[in-house]
Amino acid sequence: MAEEKQNIDCILLPQFNLNLLLPRASIVQVIESEQLDIVVDLQGGMLGKLQWHGWTVPLLSFESVANGTIPKFNRETKSAIVHSLMDDAVTPFIALTLQGSPQAIEINSKNTKMVTGFVPNDFIKSKVIINAELEAYIPELPVLVTYAVQFL
């Protein structure tokens, strides 16, 4: 009997020095830089807050939160509104900066391998290689949401 591949629809969010891999269902909207309504409040990766559809959404730089990299912004900087996928009525969304456009991708056990020897941290669950060449990090989404809530 042939092994059945289970495809998972995901989105790659390009950062400056890495890619994030999130479930496709978690990405609600991508906002272009000129549409961002940011209240700047730089603290530990927290860039500020967005006003989005009546919600105050914390805006984070994942690279800054996860490894202390100072974010840079240019005309390619966008923001992805991410649903926390948790039962959180106070903060059901966070926003993550990204560089360029997100890319839809299907992953499965044949095209995706866990990086062995990678040491995760509080914000990064794991690191994977997709199609034998593309590195991506899987964030700890509940930890990111909990982290962001403290700044609201």
Full set of structural domains in the chain with CATH: 9-149 (2.40.50.180)
Beta bridge partners of 103: 12
pLDDT at 23: 93
CB 131 within 8 A of CB 113: no
Residue 103's contacts (CB-CB under 8 Å, 6 or more residues apart) are 11, 12, 14
Q: How many residues does the chain have?
A: 152
pLDDT at 68: 77
d(CA 54, CA 125): 31
pLDDT at 49: 82
d(CA 75, CA 134): 24
pLDDT at 41: 54
Tell me which residues of the chain have a pLDDT lower than 70. 1-5, 34-43, 70-72, 88-90
